[in-house]
Amino acid sequence: MFSIRSILQVVFAAVSTSTGGSPRIQWGLCNTTEVNSTAPIVCGNLAVPLDYTEPSSNSTLTLQLLKVPAILQPSKGSILFNFGGPGAPGRESLGLLGPALLAFTGGYHDLIAFDPRGTGNTIPFSCTDNEDDTANLLYDIILGNSSDVALGRLWARGAINAGLCFQKSNATGNLIGTAFGARDLISVVDALDEDGMLRYWGFSYGTTLGATVASMFPERIDKMILDGVQNPRQYYHSPADFEEWSSSDKEFSGIFSSCVASPDSCPLARGNATAAELEQAVWNLLDTVKYHPIPLGRIMVDYDLLKAVIVQSMYSTYYWPLLTKFLHMLLTSDTKDALAVLIELVGDTTTPEESKQLFMSVMGIHCADRTVRVSNFDDFLPVVDQLYNTSKIFGDVTPAISMICAQWKMKAKEVYMGNFQANTKKPVLFIGNTGDGFTPLASAYNVSSGFKDSVVLEVDGYGHSSLAVTSTCIYNHVTEYWSTGTLPTPGTVCHPNAPPFSSTPTLVKRDAFDDISGALRKEFRHI
């Protein structure tokens, strides 16, 4: 374990040491009102082209960078991060996860992140000018099964939102796509003046960004981990991200099988019911609150809210004890303390304004990247059917964004149109969890098949990405990869140190990937 004193010494050295000449990034103290961390951090700015498709233009964009300096010197180079979304704030997320990621990278690397285009202060994507318009923007973002008219309202709201966003941001909405984000990564690498090679760790959507930059610049890849892998082909070229939800029901069922296996830690299991019976009871509860919502103080637990709470809890098994406690209270009508449990379960540091901005960033980036448009509601219904057939628990959560993107009026000025087949200078490490309800293991294998000599590290655990699983095995393989470039043997499977409902903590108490639906439900219900 590294001492705070040694870490601070490294930071002061990083701020004061010059490589000679005039470095393009001047590192200095961070504005702690914007970003903070329990790890020492420094910040800097970098001007990059605003529009990479216009090389003759002098217009630039300022990327605000945050660095967690290497603890052990000399540094083996910088690792860049993207924490997903699209729209997750890079600097804030690295500040939160910096201490853990220093350990996972061995302490020999500087860790760097910036807020991607469309987020933070980097061309923040917006669709409204005032609070009333923002509230209207989100008003009809409901679940597809919440009523028999929900889908029609979602489609109409998608048209309205697409129009509002175009009216507000048509001048910049085509400048925030993932291909430009990939070029921004390379611009940062060039400005760092190290070895000219990209080292990168991307989570969730960050794997699509990583697969894109690796396909566009295979000769620039030194080391890359793609963790919690999206299918980038569907991200760009499908009307919805179908494969993304193909393991969601498996993870949902895993909540109940894990509960039954640990009855002393899971109140829901104390009636000697089977896992299948518990799962069916929760499905029945979801159907009941659709027509008979449960009042909890100032909160109304209806179908949308309850499902959003369940979905949000699937990011990590850390949430499962509280989730099952809450479900047990509702099922037994013992709701005296249920409001306090609910607030503890969904409460985090995300402000209502941050939730709204995250939603607008997702719309702006994903919809600009997506190449598929659908002209009318009837033509989109087969997409909804496929989503419903892919996942019962997630199927009606996902149409909202897909319907907005189907009617989007802006297109990124550059979209990667290749096949994600690349021979990178050094091979890529993919990581996928068997029980990841957001990015299935199958996607890791599908994308890995296109990258020569890459390897998939399989994690036999639940939750979204390796951050959701405490595993010495994962730690050893990841640190070895960053240290020496050594990949796990193909077929390697890592297991959690302990099963769900144990007292062993996950890597982080709250991971960096907030569920959009959960955040919106929380805002609507004023939790």
How many Cα atoms sit within 13 Å of 232 on the Cβ side?
30
Distance CA 416, CA 208 (A): 11
Distance CA 493, CA 475 (A): 13
**pLDDT score recorded for residue 290:** 96
**pLDDT score recorded for residue 293:** 97
Note the pLDDT tens digit of each residue in 504-527: 555 543 333 333 333 333 332 322
512 in Cβ contact with 83 (< 8 Å): yes
**pLDDT score recorded for residue 14:** 39
Q: What backbone torsions phi and psi does residue 429 show, to the nearest 5 degrees?
A: -105, 125
Q: With both helix axes pointing from N to C terminus, report the angle between 275-291 and 303-313 in degrees, rounded to the nearest 10.
A: 140
Note the pLDDT tens digit of each residue in 297-346: 999 999 999 999 999 999 999 999 999 999 999 999 999 999 999 999 88
**pLDDT score recorded for residue 87:** 84
Q: Which residue, 268, 306, 289, 266, is CA-closest to 527?
A: 306
**pLDDT score recorded for residue 352:** 67
Q: 3 burial class (0-12, 13-18, 19+ CB within 10 angstroms)?
A: exposed
How many Cα atoms sit within 13 Å of 374 on the Cβ side?
23
In the three-class reduction of DSSP (H, G, I as helix; E, B as strand; rest coil), residue 524 is classed as helix
Domains and CATH numbers, the chain: 26-124+174-240+421-494 (3.40.50.1820)
**pLDDT score recorded for residue 139:** 73
Q: 291 burial class (0-12, 13-18, 19+ CB within 10 angstroms)?
A: exposed
91 in Cβ contact with 120 (< 8 Å): yes
Would you state the structure tokens that stand for residue 491, as one six-digit string?
């077929």
Would you state the structure tokens that stand for residue 135, as one six-digit string?
């509230």
pTM of the model: 0.90
List the pLDDT tens digit at each of the 527 positions of the chain.
433 333 333 333 333 333 344 458 999 999 888 888 888 999 999 999 999 999 999 999 999 999 999 999 889 999 999 999 898 889 999 999 999 999 999 999 999 999 999 998 899 999 988 877 777 777 778 899 899 999 999 999 999 999 999 999 999 999 999 999 999 999 999 999 899 999 999 999 999 999 999 999 999 999 999 999 999 999 999 999 999 999 999 999 999 999 999 999 998 998 889 999 999 999 999 999 999 999 999 999 999 999 999 999 999 999 999 999 999 999 999 999 999 999 998 875 556 677 788 889 999 999 999 999 999 999 999 999 999 999 999 999 999 999 999 999 999 999 999 999 999 999 999 999 999 999 999 999 999 999 999 999 999 999 999 999 999 999 999 999 999 999 999 999 999 999 999 865 555 433 333 333 333 333 323 22
DSSP annotation of 431: E
